[in-house]
Amino acid sequence: MDRRHPESDSFALRKEIETLTVKQRFGIHRFSGSDRDICFLTSEVVLKTIENVIKEVLLSLSRGEAPQLRMHNRLQWANNRFHDSTIPQKAEDCSFITIKSNSSASVTRFALILKMLSVIYKLVQSNTYATKRDIFYCNKGLFGTQRTVDKIIDDICCMLLIPRLNLHVLATSKGLIAGDLCYTEVDGTRVNCASNSMAVLVPSSVQGIKYISSSAQYLLIVEKDATFQRLLDDNFLGESAHCIIITGKGFPDLNTRLMVRKLWEFLQIPVFALVDADPYGIEIMCIYKYGSVSMSFEGHRLTVPSIMWLGLLPSDLERLIIPKAALIPLTKTDYNKLASMQKRPYIMSQPLWQREIDIIRNSKMKAEIQSLTALAPDYLTRVYLPNKLHFGGWI
C-alpha cells in the first residue's frame, strides 16, 4: 500500500493526530497542580505511530520497492500562514518532501531517521528520557556531529506530527531566568528565581513545572547573556521588582522558548523583547514571536504572538543621538539577511517593523545594546528601560 495514499495506516494516523482538537489530542496524561494542567500524548499513540512508519517500510521492501519517508517541507516559510500577526498556521496547500532510500542524496538521511526511530521507540517503551547530547555520544561514530542529531530529531517530529517531549527526547537548557517567579520542577524541587544572587537555569522539562507563583507585571526577553548580566549587576530587578527577565543567550534553545510561552499563557502579562538593533537581533526576536522555519510545525506551542519590540529600536539611535563611533557598518551578510527577512509573511504584516528595518538599511549602520553606554555607563538600566516601560515607545 502506497504510504502517500490516504488509506495508508501511518498517513491516516498522523492525519488524525494533526486534526484532533487540543483537548482530544492531549487530554490523556496530565500533571495536576495550581498551574494549568499539562497534557501529553499517550505512549501507546506514539509507539503506534512509529510502528506504522516501520510497517510501511517493510511493506515496500516486501513488494520489491524502495522505501520512502514523507513529511512537510519544514524549511519553507511559504508553508506557513500568518493572519493578523498571530500564531503561524500550516498552509492548506503546503509542500512535502520525500526522503528516498534509493537516492544517493537522501539515503544517509533515510537510514539515520530509521536509527533514531529505534532509539526513540526504546525510550518511549521503557518510559525513560534521554537528552540529544546523550543520544549523540552513544552513537557518535554514526551521527558524526550533534547538529546531525538535532536535525534528524526535528525531521522525525515533523514527520510524525508529535512534539519532541512526547518522544522522550530532552535538550540541555542554556537559557537563564531571574525575577519575581517561583515554581516547582517535575522532581518536586521548589525554585525561587528571586532568592539567588545569580540567575536560574531554565528547566529541561518546562512542560512539567507546576505551582507557578508570580506577581510580575511583565516579562522581558533579553537577547544576550552580557546584557542580562548587566541588568542583574545594576540591580534592575531590585528597582523593578515586579518583573521577570529571561535570556536564551543569543538564538534561543527550545526550553527557553517553551518557558516564555508557558509564562505568557499562565501569567497573562505583557512580554517585551530587548535585542540589538541589527538583523540578527531582529531575527532572534522573531523566533520568540513567530517561530523558526525549521520548527514551524511546532510554532503553535512555541511562539508568543503578542511580544512587543521594546528596544533597541533603530529609530532610537537617531532620537537618542547615539555617537556614530558607537555604531557598526552593515556587512554584505547583514544586507542579505535584511532582504531575506522582508520577504517573510509575518514581516509583511508588520508595517512598523518594516519601517525600522528600512532605517537600518538606509542608514547602513547597526548597533548593539551596549552602544547605550556611550551616553552613560548605566543609561540602559537607569534611563532607557525605565522610560520605555513607563511612557511607552515599543512596537
Cβ proximity of 372 and 322 under 8 Å: yes
Residue 260's nearest CA partner among 279, 287, 231 is 287
Residues labelled catalytic = 137
CB atoms within 10 A of CB 294: 14
d(CA 198, CA 289): 27
- For 199, the grid coordinates are 540567575
Output the 3-class SS for the chain. Answer: CCCCCCCCHHHHHHHHHHHCCHHHHHCCEEECCCCCCEEECCHHHHHHHHHHHHHHHHHHHHCCCCCEEEEECCCCHHHEECCCCCCCEECCCCCEEEEECCCCCCHHHHHHHHHHHHHHHHHHHHCCCEEHHHHHHHCHHHHCCHHHHHHHHHHHHHHHCCCHHHHCEECCCCCEEEECCEEECCCCCEEECCCCCCCEECCCCHHHCEEEECCCCEEEEECCHHHHHHHHHCCHHHHCCCEEEEECCCCCCHHHHHHHHHHHHHHCCCEEEECCECHHHHHHHHHHHHCCHHHHHHHHHHCCCCCEEEECCHHHHHHCCCCHHHCEECCHHHHHHHHHHCCCHHHHCCHHHHHHHHHHHHHCEEECHHHHHHCCCCHHHHHHHHHHHHHCCCC
Which residues on adjacent β-strands are paired with residue 69?
Answer: 99
Residue 72's nearest CA partner among 150, 160, 2, 151 is 160
CA dihedral angle for residue 336, residue 338, residue 340, residue 343, rounded to 10 degrees = -150
Q: What CA–CA distances, in Å, run from 140 to 109, 147, 156, 198?
A: 15, 11, 19, 34
